């Protein structure tokens, strides 16, 4: 063995150690690739080959498409409709089990989970059910759905890209490692998804913790704003009862009164029917006020500087600012303070600590320490961060108005994308970029927001992983480890070796994440198949499923990490619920893979 094996193995151990201790994966893998290129284990072309890989580029385009569906409200509407009328935890779990895997099969599951977390959490708060009872199944259901098609998860695309690259560089393997078909994974993914759904409905939900949401613990200290919202003639709430409109179901929100023709109506009964030009007065946390603003035709009754037209509102941003004693507006009502002239901003809502505000926002006389929710110009934060008129200035996340008028366009383009990918008329990467471009061209999403929607860290991690995989092959590390692995499992036959590859990949994914595990284990799977003298495709597919279907830790999959905080989970929760699921899918894949892709 040459020095290259020991050097490459040492770099691999350092990278794995860094990933286990939550160091940035893109920095670790890119740094490793640069070092391996400097010592000439790989060429500069091999080091950078991942950045031109079509599968990595496809992942980037899919981020834009999923973001456009969120921007138009298409995903949000689907989520709200899904939980409408649900009364029990069991009902919500069944509805998620019937819809989330299907959605995740055709969309990247990360934005789906991001969209569902506040919807599910809101339902839980309303029904006094701990979010920990539903958020982990939300992540798991999206993961198992992603294993059913080529584009369901980025892991599938990573492995597909490695297959294309290997078949190009090694013609002997071109027949065995030809690119995947769109539904090729479905033959195993669909039965595994059914098994996973049955497990979560019958056994898994019994193992879930009943833990208070971390956010809920701080409800008492949340800032509650007073805001007035006007029902415009085009609003979908016109003609609906308050209860039917869902205005009593939003978390952290209370409908104080309704003003109709200068007559204040309070308390508001659930069967009160809303009409055009009604003014609804709420007290609520800022995130829920942002949700109200996203309802088409429901706009704040703010001062005269407020932009009501959706296109104009997108040019502004929601900000929070705390009034200091130096502010010239102190002692004046908001209506007379003329925030538009002073700050190019309009007051949307007001919070005053220790005081329950009532009435109209425009009539509130400002005091020192009041917190204002402002609709401001794009550069307000930068311009007034150091302004003595404010003690603190900050932005509000996810406050852009939705592009409701483009929802139909985004859904049509999604159908076109799936049709192009399934039919094979053009290559998958071209189809993804074509639809992403059309999403921008039809204004389903702006060009700037399209750029922001791309998870650059994930793309760099995927691209760099291709270079490391090539280094493992060039150094001889793959051959050495595969010989050792085969010597341990060879006596168990092809099925035993396949199960060993699944377990090894799953352990890697638990420590370093799904994409890194897939890229690192791919060359080992091919080499182990060569040592065993069988078709490498079953082993490659085994790596694909094992890397994707990883439930044992928060870091094993991005969606697990996303629900970790909001659900108030502990590491042991993932082991308790995820380990039986991992073992079930290990059995399923080990039995089914050889039936679909013969040894």
Other Cβ atoms closer than 10 A to 62: 24
Annotate 31-50 with b (16+ C-beta within 10 A) or e (fewer). bbbebbbeeebbeeebbbbb
Those residues whose C-beta lies under 8 Å from the C-beta of residue 157, and which sit 6 or more positions away, are 55, 56, 58, 59, 150, 151
Give the largest CA-CA distance in the chain. 88
- Which residues lie closer than 8 Å to 492 by C-beta, 6 or more apart? 499, 500
Query: Which two three-digit tokens encode residue 25?
Result: 């994966």
pLDDT digits (tens, 9 = 90+) for 297-317: 888 886 665 655 555 555 677
Burial (CB count <10 Å: 0-12, 13-18, 19+), residue 52: exposed
Per-block average pLDDT, block size 10, for the chain (599 residues)?
A: 81 79 80 91 87 83 85 75 81 92 84 78 78 93 92 88 86 86 93 96 92 51 78 88 76 81 85 90 79 79 60 68 89 83 84 78 87 81 83 73 79 89 85 92 89 83 81 80 76 85 87 79 88 90 91 82 80 90 94 91
How does DSSP classify residue 400? P
Its sign, for the CA torsion 394, 396, 397, 403, is negative
Contact criterion met (CB below 8 Å) for 143 and 548: yes
Residue 193, CA atoms < 13 Å, CB-side half-sphere: 27
Alpha carbon of 545 to those of 188, 257, 308, 458, 539: distances in Å?
9, 53, 48, 19, 10
CATH of the domain at 333: 3.30.70.1450
- CA 545, 547, 548 angle in degrees (round to 5)? 65
Asked whether the bond before 407 is cis by omega within 30 degrees of 0, the reply is no
Note whether residue 119 is domain-resident: no
Q: Does residue 592 fall inside a structural domain?
A: no
pLDDT at 214: 47
Find all residues with CB under 8 Å of 462, minimum gap 6, and list them: 50, 53, 55, 56, 59, 154, 158, 515, 519
* 3 state SS of 255: strand
Which domain does 337 fall in, by range?
224-284+297-395
Q: What is the pLDDT of residue 453?
A: 83
The Cα–Cα gap between 310 and 400 comes to: 9
Residue 364 lies in a domain: yes
Residue 93's pLDDT is 93
Query: By C-alpha distance, which of 474, 597, 588 is closest to 527?
Result: 474
pLDDT at 309: 56
Q: How far is CA 320 from CA 282, 370, 533, in A?
A: 18, 10, 65
Strand runs labelled E in 170-285: 225-231, 253-260, 263-265, 279-284
> For residue 540, is it within any domain?
no
Report the number of distinct structural domains present in the chain.
1
Segment 341-377, tens digit of pLDDT: 788 888 888 888 767 787 788 888 998 888 888 888 7
Q: Answer whether 179's CB lies under 8 Å from 163's CB.
A: yes
pTM of the shown model: 0.70
Which residue from 468, 473, 477 is spatially nearest to 5, judged by alpha carbons?
477
CA dist 414 and 107 (Å) reads 9
Asked, for residue 122, whether it belongs to a domain, the answer is no
In angstroms, the CA 118 to CA 120 distance is: 6
Q: Looking at the domain assignment, is residue 493 inside a domain? A: no
Q: Which residues pair with 273 in a beta bridge?
A: 241
* 3-class secondary-structure state, position 372: strand
In this structure, is residue 289 part of a structural domain? no
Quick one: pLDDT at residue 587? 94
Cβ within 8 Å of residue 158, ≥6 positions away: 55, 56, 59, 462, 465, 515, 518, 519
Whether 473 maps to a domain, the answer reads no
User: Is residue 362 packed enough to be buried (19+ CB in 10 Å), middle (13-18) or exposed (0-12)?
Assistant: middle
Paired tokens of 80: 């709200």
């Amino acid at each position: 063995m040459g020095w290259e094996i020991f050097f490459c193995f040492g770099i691999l151990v350092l990278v794995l150690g860094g990933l286990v201790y939550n160091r940035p994966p893109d920095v670790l893998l890119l740094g490793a690739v640069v070092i391996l290129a400097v010592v000439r284990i790989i060429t500069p072309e091999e080091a950078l080959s991942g950045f031109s890989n079509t599968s990595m580029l496809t992942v980037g385009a899919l981020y834009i498409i999923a973001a456009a569906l969120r921007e138009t409200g298409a995903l949000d509407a689907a989520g709200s409709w899904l939980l409408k009328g649900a009364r029990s935890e069991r009902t919500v779990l069944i509805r998620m089990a019937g819809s989330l895997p299907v959605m995740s099969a055709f969309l990247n599951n990360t934005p789906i989970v991001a969209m569902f977390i506040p919807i599910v959490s809101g339902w839980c708060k309303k029904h006094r059910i701990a979010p920990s009872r539903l958020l982990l199944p939300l992540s798991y259901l999206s993961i198992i759905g992603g294993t059913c098609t080529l584009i369901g998860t980025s892991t599938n695309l990573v492995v597909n890209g490695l297959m294309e690259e290997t078949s190009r560089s090694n013609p002997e393997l071109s027949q065995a490692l030809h690119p995947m078909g769109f539904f090729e994974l479905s033959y195993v993914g669909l039965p595994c998804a059914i098994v996973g759904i049955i497990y979560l409905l019958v056994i898994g939900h019994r193992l879930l913790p009943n833990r208070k949401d971390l956010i809920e613990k701080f409800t008492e200290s949340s800032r509650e704003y007073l805001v007035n919202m006007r029902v415009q003639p085009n609003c979908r709430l016109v003609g609906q009862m308050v209860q039917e409109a869902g205005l009593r179901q939003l978390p952290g929100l209370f409908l104080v009164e309704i003003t109709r023709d200068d007559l204040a109506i309070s308390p508001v009964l659930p069967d009160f029917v809303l009409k055009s030009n009604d003014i609804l007065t709420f007290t609520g946390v800022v995130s829920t006020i942002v949700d109200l603003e996203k309802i088409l035709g429901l706009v704040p009754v703010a001062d005269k500087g407020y932009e009501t037209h959706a296109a104009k509102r997108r040019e502004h941003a929601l900000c929070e600012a705390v009034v200091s004693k130096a502010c010239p507006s102190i002692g004046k009502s908001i209506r007379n303070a003329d925030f538009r002239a002073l700050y190019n901003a309009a007051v949307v809502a007001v919070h005053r600590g220790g005081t329950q505000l009532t009435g109209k926002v425009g009539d509130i006389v400002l005091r020192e320490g009041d917190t204002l929710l402002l609709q401001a110009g794009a550069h307000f934060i930068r311009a007034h961060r150091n302004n003595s008129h404010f003690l603190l200035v900050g932005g509000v996340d996810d406050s852009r108005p939705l592009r409701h008028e483009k929802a139909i366009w985004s859904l049509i383009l999604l159908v076109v994308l799936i049709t192009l990918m399934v039919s094979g008329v053009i290559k998958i990467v071209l189809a993804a970029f074509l639809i992403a471009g059309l999403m921008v061209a039809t204004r389903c999403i702006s060009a700037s927001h399209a750029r922001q929607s791309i998870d650059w860290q994930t793309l760099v991690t995927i691209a760099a992983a291709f270079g490391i995989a090539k280094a493992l092959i060039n150094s001889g590390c793959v051959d050495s480890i595969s010989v050792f692995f085969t010597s341990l499992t060879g006596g168990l036959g092809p099925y035993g070796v396949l199960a060993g590859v699944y377990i090894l990949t799953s352990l890697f994914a638990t420590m370093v994440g799904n994409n890194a595990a897939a890229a690192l284990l791919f060359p080992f799977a091919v080499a182990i198949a060569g040592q065993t003298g069988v078709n490498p495709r079953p082993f490659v597919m085994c790596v694909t499923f094992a890397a994707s279907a990883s439930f044992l830790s928060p870091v094993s999959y991005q969606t697990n990490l996303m629900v970790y905080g909001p659900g108030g989970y502990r590491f042991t929760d993932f082991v308790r619920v995820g380990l039986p699921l991992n073992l079930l899918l290990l059995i399923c894949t080990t039995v089914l893979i050889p039936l679909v892709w013969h040894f």
